[in-house]
């Protein structure tokens, strides 16, 4: 709230100072999931990104393409080149033991190959993917093992195509330490991190710790803010637009500049979901976090103690289908919250290249 007020009060001064801000030189864009209810496709996303004077976009799913035919993908590559937008590519879950695995993809190796082919065709140098969700934590070791195996199976193709596979810390599936281990096990020459700054909250992890741990491996990102606050059962967390939450993004951008300045800062703004409770005061919570060091958790506790609920306007509807009136408001909110997050990223954090010219 205070940071938002600061933005309004100092936008002119911040503009002038942008060239010397910590975000200087960091490419700014968005993950298409941010505005998923618009159901746009590749060219529309590229044009939208251009209209906002962005540098990059993450087409985070194969559904983001109008067609996967080579001719169409070549057209997407040409268009991106013409409008000056760098594409980061993406696919979904690559672990066939995960509850999130989509059987229709055949097997993980085939899915990864398909994604790499598309990434190469549109000129992307990175391809995001994920292992699973928090539902997979009881089965984490086996999932990580299967994922490492799947990744190793496409090492040659990845290296040949020049596309780094960026494993996301996704939906509470892994803590940063675990992602780092997975990347190193699979091979840092072709596997890297798609750092998500909102998902650590589902795994009781301070996003600054996530960045400190994964920074050297980050090649693309999903960036959003989170309101974190105490709850009788532990804490509660709610994803919010950039600047509306509890995460110290000034410190975050300092670290980003130091550790992974070449990685695109792709905003993945997800608002409208009710707060999620992390019942860490109850013993059962810890069953799936047996190896989390206390010092890491203490960092999260500090964040919780300093935070408070988001108190501003928001259409809070949750996941899934909504009645028409609510769905329309929810959709519009996706655009509004993404765009005001860009303003924060540009004017307060000084991220982005193109908008400054």
Neighbours of 3 (CB within 10 A): 16
Strand 265-267, strand 28-31: pairing: parallel
Minimum CB distance to another protein, residue 323 (Å): 7
Q: Which among 348, 127, 159, 166 is positioned nearest to 260, based on CA atoms?
A: 166
Q: Which residue has the tokens 């391809």?
A: 127
Strand 225-231, strand 234-240: pairing: antiparallel
Q: Which of these segments, 10-18, 33-41, 98-106, 303-311, binds another protein (CB under 8 A)?
A: 303-311
312 binds another protein (CB under 8 A): yes
Q: Which of these segments, 45-53, 59-67, 87-95, 309-317, binds another protein (CB under 8 A)?
A: 309-317
Minimum CB distance to another protein, residue 243 (Å): 15
Q: Is 120 helix (H, G, I), strand (E, B) or coil?
A: helix
Q: 296 with 250: CB under 8 angstroms?
A: no
Q: Closer CB to another protein, residue 83 or residue 336? A: 336
Total residues contacting another protein (rule CB under 8 A)?
A: 27
Query: Which residues pair with residue 265 across a beta bridge?
Result: 28
d(CA 225, CA 1): 12
Q: Closer CB to another protein, residue 111 or residue 229? A: 229
d(CA 313, CA 1): 11
Q: Which of these segments, 156-164, 168-176, 291-299, 310-318, binds another protein (CB under 8 A)?
A: 310-318
Q: Which of these segments, 186-194, 274-282, 295-303, 347-355, binds another protein (CB under 8 A)?
A: 274-282
Which residues ranging from 315 to 344 are in contact with another protein (CB under 8 A)? Answer: 315-318, 323, 325-326, 328-333, 336
Residues that bind another protein in the complex, under the rule CB under 8 A: 229, 231-232, 236, 274-275, 277, 308-309, 311-318, 323, 325-326, 328-333, 336
């Amino acid at each position: 709230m205070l940071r938002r007020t600061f933005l309004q009060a100092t936008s002119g001064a911040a503009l002038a100072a942008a060239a010397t801000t910590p975000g200087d030189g960091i490419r700014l864009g968005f993950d298409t999931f941010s505005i998923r209810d618009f159901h746009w496709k590749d060219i529309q996303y590229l044009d939208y990104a251009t209209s906002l004077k962005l540098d990059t976009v993450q087409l985070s799913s194969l559904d983001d393409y109008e067609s996967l035919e080579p001719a169409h993908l070549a057209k997407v590559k040409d268009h991106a080149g013409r409008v000056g937008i760098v594409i980061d590519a993406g696919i979904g879950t690559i672990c066939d033991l995960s509850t999130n695995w989509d059987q229709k993809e055949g097997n993980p190796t085939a899915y990864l190959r398909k994604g790499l082919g598309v990434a190469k065709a549109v000129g992307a140098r990175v391809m995001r993917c994920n292992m699973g969700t928090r539902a997979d934590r009881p089965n984490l070791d086996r999932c990580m093992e299967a994922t490492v195996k799947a990744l190793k199976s496409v090492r040659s193709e990845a290296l040949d195509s020049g596309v780094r596979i960026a494993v996301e810390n996704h939906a509470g599936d892994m803590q940063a330490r675990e992602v780092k281990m997975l990347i190193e096990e699979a091979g840092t020459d072709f596997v890297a991190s798609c750092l998500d700054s909102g998902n650590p909250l589902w795994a009781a992890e301070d996003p600054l710790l996530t960045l400190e741990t994964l920074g050297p491996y980050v090649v693309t990102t999903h960036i959003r803010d989170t309101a974190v606050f105490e709850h009788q059962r532990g804490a509660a967390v709610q994803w919010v637009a950039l600047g509306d939450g509890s995460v110290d993004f000034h410190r975050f951008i300092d670290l980003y500049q130091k550790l992974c300045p070449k990685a695109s800062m792709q905003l993945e703004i997800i608002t409208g979901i009710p707060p999620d409770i992390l019942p860490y005061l109850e013993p059962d919570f810890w069953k799936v976090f047996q190896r989390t060091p206390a010092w890491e958790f203490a960092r999260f506790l500090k964040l919780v103690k300093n935070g408070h609920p988001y108190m501003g306007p928001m259409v809070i509807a949750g996941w899934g289908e909504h009645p028409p009136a609510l769905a329309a408001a929810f959709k519009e909110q996706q655009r509004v919250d993404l765009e005001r997050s860009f303003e924060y990223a540009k004017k307060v954090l000084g991220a982005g290249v193109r908008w400054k010219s």
